[in-house]
Amino acid sequence: MKELIGTTGLILNEPLLWEKGKKGRCGYSLPGRDVESFPLDNELTGEGPDFPDLSEVDVVRHYTRLSQWNFGVDTGMYPLGSCTMKYSPKTNERQAGLSGFAGAHPLLPSDFSQGTLRIMFELEQYLAEITGLDAVTLQPAAGAHGELTGMLVIHAYHKNRGAQRSKILVPDTAHGTNPATATLCNYRSIQVNSNEDGILSVESVADVMDEDTAGIMLTNPNTLGLFEENIRQIAEIVHSKGGIVYCDGANLNAVMGIVKMGKIGVDVMHLNLHKTFSTPHGGGGPGSGPVCVKKHLEPFLPVPRVVEEEGRFRLSYNYPQSIGKVQAFHGNIGVMIKAYSYIRSMGPKDLKKASRLAVLNANYIKESLKDTLHLAYDRPCMHECVFSDEKQKDDNVTTLDMAKRLMDYGFHPPTVYFPLVVHGAIMIEPTETESKEDIDKFIEAFKAIANEAKENPDLLHDAPCKSKVRRLDEVSAARKPCLTG
Ligand SMILES: *Cc1c(COP(=O)(O)O)cnc(C)c1O
């Protein structure tokens, strides 16, 4: 096997700190006491937890080694489809860490938090501009939370019109969180199947849309990485029956500043700031899922909202039809500041360029690998492309085998077995932040793996061979994790 990036060598084992400690070791030394000793209270000197004694270098090596078992965007390419694992410029992190922002208490009166409130106010305006919608809430803490907020807004809208509806249309190419959100809001999801091009046909929506249906919840670009080209006519049909068009905008990275969703019929849309707008994610850290809406849905947005009066900013609760609060305080401010900093440092031209490059990179991979892997839909894609293991069937090699083997070549595997509409799916999203050289190495690795599938399939069944742990029983690994390394 050819080495593509540094994938072998010093992966060091590391015991638990308790196993590593030796009585009497010390991580610091204090200067000698120059005052009288004084007996402490018994409560302070009694039996404490049995912390191990460690030297400074013990501790530094311990945590550094653990960090080296991890893989992130700062380590290498992370082409996890649907997740937009792009590199986030460090400057945005720096702005969010400025003490004026990071140290501000969320209960500060507005007179003392004008800077933060202004950033929130302007960020809402930028997101409205980018999506072509009219009003924005920054409260939701993640994409799925944004979906729930958006659905609650739709629910409140129908209730306010005097007739609650019982169903919602959800395409088979929607993200899995979409039907879950609809169910949480007590809507029954009606699945609409995509056509042979991987998108929704106008007829399939017309067939099922009726006046007991609250609207449609679609993902655009959808989870096949394809743009819903019929969205305008679909929106017309939904609107003609009094429904609302919800767009899951977590895939906005493909169309920033290029498609104004508000102009093509979308009424509500959530964004994932932690995917598109420069917050690293994947470790369960804070996210942000703003919801953008058209004017007629604005009264239902969560409170408080940031308002401006004569150049001063304050929080207002004066929205009697609001669905209420969906998150503590202002939401995840740090993520908002990173998004603000990203948008301001990129500007309109470079946001568009980022999306264009994300689309170009995905199409480059699609074209380069389509002789190696079966391409589910052979048409131009947006920010991600979906293959399957169809061509490797005869070699008895599966998507999982190839994904695991990719780790031996030094790449994080792509998303596998999702979307469900493609059997054995391999969903690759390179993002705009990968260089052509790195993408070429990734393509080369996949070609080498497809060769191995023909010549030595057993090698792939055993993969990964070079990682710290070999192939795990994933169910047991998730349910009974072994935390001792
Ligand atoms: C990631 C994603 C979500 C969910 O976002 P979270 O922040 O993980 O809750 C929803 N829809 C799509 C299309 C996504 O890619």
Confidence of residue 68 (pLDDT cuts 50, 70, 90): confident
- % residues pLDDT > 90 (the chain): 85
Please give the pLDDT value at position 7. 59
- Going from N- to C-terminal start, the domains of the chain cover 91-345, 348-479
Is 3.40.190.10 the CATH number for 91-345?
A: no
Q: Which atom of ligand 1 is nearest to the CA of 272?
A: 7
* Cβ contacts of 102-110, under 8 Å, gap ≥ 24: 102/334, 104/333, 106/328, 106/329, 106/330, 106/333, 107/329, 110/312, 110/313, 110/314, 110/315
Average pLDDT over every residue of 343-365: 98
Residue 169's Cβ-count burial label (10 Å; 0-12, 13-18, 19+) is buried
For ligand 1, the distance from its centroid to the CA atom of residue 144, given in whole angstroms, is 6
CB half-sphere exposure, 167, CA atoms < 13 A: 14
**Torsion sign, CA atoms 458, 461, 466, 469:** negative
Quick check: CB of 228 below 6 Å from ligand 1? no
Quick check: CB of 250 below 6 Å from ligand 1? yes
- Maximal CA-CA distance, the chain: 88
Please give the pLDDT value at position 44. 73
Residue-wise pLDDT for 318-331, tens only, equals: 999 999 999 999 99
Please give the pLDDT value at position 8. 62
Average pLDDT over every residue of 103-107: 93
In the structure encoding, which two tokens stand for residue 363, read together? 């199409």
Please give the pLDDT value at position 5. 72
**Residue 437 pLDDT greater than 70, yes or no:** yes
Please give the pLDDT value at position 73. 92
Pairing outcome for strands 305-309 and 291-293 = unpaired
**Residue 154 pLDDT greater than 80, yes or no:** yes
In the structure encoding, which two tokens stand for residue 375, read together? 């391409």
Q: Which atom of ligand 1 is nearest to the CA of 144?
A: 9
Residue written as token pair 């905008």: 249
Closest C-alpha to ligand 1, atom 4:
143
Closest C-alpha to ligand 1, atom 8:
143
Residue-wise pLDDT for 384-414, tens only, equals: 999 999 999 999 999 999 999 999 999 999 9
CA 41 and chain centroid, separation? 50
Average pLDDT over every residue of 11-37: 90
For ligand 1, the distance from its centroid to the CA atom of residue 25, given in whole angstroms, is 47
Please give the pLDDT value at position 9. 63
Please give the pLDDT value at position 426. 98
Could you tell me which of 219, 225, 211 has the C-alpha nearest to residue 192? Answer: 219
Q: Which atom of ligand 1 is nearest to the CA of 82?
A: 15
For ligand 1, the distance from its centroid to the CA atom of residue 143, given in whole angstroms, is 5
CA distance to 100, 101, 288, 309, per residue, from 113 (Å) = 9, 9, 20, 15
Average pLDDT over every residue of 222-236: 97
The mean of the pLDDT values for the chain is 94
Within 4-142, where are the H helices?
17-20, 42-45, 56-68, 90-96, 99-102, 114-131
Residues in a beta bridge with 386 = 427
Quick check: CB of 272 below 6 Å from ligand 1? yes
Q: Which helix (H) or strand (E) holds 206?
A: helix 202-208
What's the CA gap between 103 and 139, in Å, rounded?
19
Residue-wise pLDDT for 162-187, tens only, equals: 989 999 999 998 888 999 999 999 99
For ligand 1, the distance from its centroid to the CA atom of residue 204, given in whole angstroms, is 25
**Torsion sign, CA atoms 197, 191, 237, 263:** negative
Please give the pLDDT value at position 301. 98
Residue-wise pLDDT for 238-289, tens only, equals: 999 999 999 999 999 999 999 999 999 999 999 999 999 999 998 778 999 9
What's the CA gap between 52 and 151, in Å, rounded?
50
Q: Which residues contact 455 (CB under 8 A, 6 or more apart)?
A: none
Quick check: CB of 142 below 6 Å from ligand 1? yes
Quick check: CB of 248 below 6 Å from ligand 1? yes
For ligand 1, the distance from its centroid to the CA atom of residue 228, given in whole angstroms, is 18
For ligand 1, the distance from its centroid to the CA atom of residue 216, given in whole angstroms, is 17
Residue written as token pair 């400057």: 91
**Residue 467 pLDDT greater than 60, yes or no:** yes
Confidence of residue 472 (pLDDT cuts 50, 70, 90): confident
pTM score:
0.92
Pairing outcome for strands 268-270 and 244-248 = parallel
User: Could you give phi then psi for residue 273, rounded to 5 degrees?
Assistant: -60, -30
For ligand 1, the distance from its centroid to the CA atom of residue 310, given in whole angstroms, is 37
Average pLDDT over every residue of 181-199: 95
**Residue 485 pLDDT greater than 60, yes or no:** no
Q: Which atom of ligand 1 is nearest to the CA of 274?
A: 7
Type of residue numbered 442:
F
**Residue 106 pLDDT greater than 60, yes or no:** yes
- Classify 478 in phi/psi space as left (phi over 0), alpha (psi -120 to 50) or beta: alpha
Average pLDDT over every residue of 127-155: 97
What kind of fold does domain 348-479 have according to CATH? Aspartate Aminotransferase, domain 1 (3.90.1150)
Confidence of residue 479 (pLDDT cuts 50, 70, 90): very high
**Residue 129 pLDDT greater than 80, yes or no:** yes
Closest C-alpha to ligand 1, atom 5:
143
Could you tell me which of 297, 316, 354, 334 has the C-alpha nearest to residue 149? Answer: 297
**Residue 435 pLDDT greater than 80, yes or no:** yes
Please give the pLDDT value at position 91. 97
**Residue 25 pLDDT greater than 60, yes or no:** yes
Confidence of residue 39 (pLDDT cuts 50, 70, 90): confident
Pairing outcome for strands 426-428 and 385-388 = antiparallel
